[in-house]
Chains A and B, each alone.
Chain A
Amino acid sequence: MVDFQRIIRIFGKNKLAVVSFYFIMFLILVAIFGPLISPYSPGDIDYSLMGVPHPPSMKHLMGTDGNGRDILSRVLYGARYTLMVGIGAVLVFITIGTILGAVSGYVGGWIDTIIMRIVDVLLSLPILFFILIIQMLLESSIYNVILVIGLTGWAGTCRLVRGQVLSIREMTYIESARAIGASSSRIIFRHVIPNTMAPIIVMATLGVASTILLESALSFLGYGVQEPNASWGGMLNKAQAFMSIAPWTVFFPGILIVLTVLAFNFMGDGLRDALDPKLKT
């Protein structure tokens, strides 16, 4: 049985991980309730300030962008897109990677060979360029961004789970399940996958961090979430042109990406220590 109290105790000792956890919860609340707390709507244009970005003021706490839109409001709404892509794409690739990895490791044979060759191919592609090209061809919607990152990103998870399954497969409790006539799919979903959860959870948390970095690069290059909606990366795409006269347009969205990615990395680190004592050095 999983000892939740022990996990929470060890996780609680890692102050950075705990702070990161609260920060992420706060961000999720912001993403959900953004429209209620944001001072303006993200598309609202302050016509008196249009044309050139204006520095932070009491009226616009993070200043305005080149179109006279309030940066704070856009950042609050941007949290929604950034987190949706980060968490959504990870859910997609963790699910695919876990199922394929478990099947590959448990069943073996030619199914294993085929799945592992697909993994080899995915890991040999220059993935950012490949995703950019697919994005270029697709209609840019947030769901496409999630699907494309999810469908191309499962190779690492698949390898990890397969490795875990290969060692679990030889355990006596799997053998006894087989002895009482449990089917392969029942064994995989009821016994094998639950026992690989610890490294998967860690990988998922760190995966959100790297996915947010990837999404922000896509949007920065103009192939992610499209205007008038904006993820933080997308805001930077427009902001770079104004960098020399309006550094705040570059600073605020960027620092939020850093803080969010940092929080997921710290939390993943804390979870690794708490869930998987073997990995601790």
Chain B
Amino acid sequence: MLRFILKRIFFSIPILFAVTIITFFVLHAAPGDPADILMNPRTKPEDRARIRKNLGLDKPVYIQYIIWLKNLVTKGDMGYSMVDGRPVFATIMERMPATIALMGTSYFLSIILAIPLGIYCAVHRNSVFDHILTFLSFIGLSIPSFWLALIVIYLFVIKYNSIPFISIGPPSFEGMGLLELVKTIFLSMFLPVMVLTVRNIAVWSRYIRSSMVETLQEDYIRTARSLGISENTIIYKYAFKPAILPMITLVGLSLPNVAAGSFVIEYIFAWPGIGRLGIQAMAQRNYPIMMGDILIASVMIIAANLLADIAYGWADPRIRRS
């Protein structure tokens, strides 16, 4: 098992390496000078040259890349923000908890809601409820998450004024009592989590449904039925585990989609996570932050795939032997 994990980690290093090369060269192919945001029309030419030299922009792109990579590998240093001069890594890590809270909550809710829905539909296949849910999940799959976000903001915030539109950030928590803190976090997360969760439930419940339907047609289930074991025991004791096993892979593989969704959602709800940081950085042409954001997001995607593989290998010994 340990060998399997180490091998997978080893194979993800060149992938990350390629991600940094592609992103770095794409960003530096941009027309214009990244240092422009630090200048104004009255900046003297010698100041301009000095600023460019300090930022290392006077060197060829591949040398800049080597310096960037060297700092990353030896010091964990991803450079400095063009706008406020703060370290990129620290800026991203500051925003990380907000993103993880949003995505984690949505993942958790999606899993605990999608599993029972999918199993119910598989067991009561072709019932009215099954047809309705299939139809709804197609709709959930087809709604752009940003539009759904606008609609829920319109309904909950503007029209019925039932939820205050709050954007949270660490400073705004100061001086709050515990109860107030919980209430603020709940209210600020309610709408974005709802929007993110709809799509996941739509995709995952259908997946569990078909996996369960397949499992219930296996020979050993037929044997169990012929022995007169009750349907409930068959479903929850014998079919449940093999049916939800593929979920592990699905949950891991869907991270890029969830991340893309939360990227836009963070922007709309002014959620202080790494997605909004990335969009702000784009508007300001803040290249070091964009570079760092892409790298961290790639690490998260690769780590999710890796964790899914490990969990699957742990749950199903046939995988890790092959």
Contacts and interface: CB of A to CB of B under 8 A. Distances in A.
Interface of A: 117, 120-121, 123-130, 132-134, 136-137, 209, 213, 216-217, 220-221, 233, 236, 240, 243-244, 247, 250, 254, 257-258, 261-262, 265-266, 269, 281
Interface stretch (B16-24, B38-46, B53-61): B16-24
Interface in B126-162: 138-139, 141-147, 150-151, 153-154, 158
B19 A124 contact: yes
A124 B22 CA distance: 12
A258 B147 contact: yes
Interface of B: 12, 14-16, 18-19, 22-23, 26-27, 29-31, 138-139, 141-147, 150-151, 153-154, 158, 210, 213-214, 256, 259-260, 263-264, 267-268, 278-279, 282, 290, 293-294, 297-298, 301-302, 305
Contacts of B154: 243-244, 247, 250
Contacts of A254: 144, 147, 150-151
A250 B150 contact: yes
Contacts, number: 123
24 contacts: A117-B15, A120-B15, A124-B19, A128-B263, A129-B260, A130-B23, A132-B279, A137-B26, A213-B142, A217-B146, A217-B260, A220-B146, A220-B147, A220-B264, A221-B264, A243-B153, A254-B151, A257-B144, A258-B144, A261-B142, A261-B144, A262-B138, A281-B210, A281-B213
Contact of A213 (B18, B26, B144, B151): B144
A257 to B, nearest CB: 6
Contacts of A244: 154, 158
Nearest to A131: B260
A130 B294 contact: yes
Given A120-B15, A266-B138, A281-B213, A126 B146 contact: no
A32 B30 CA distance: 35
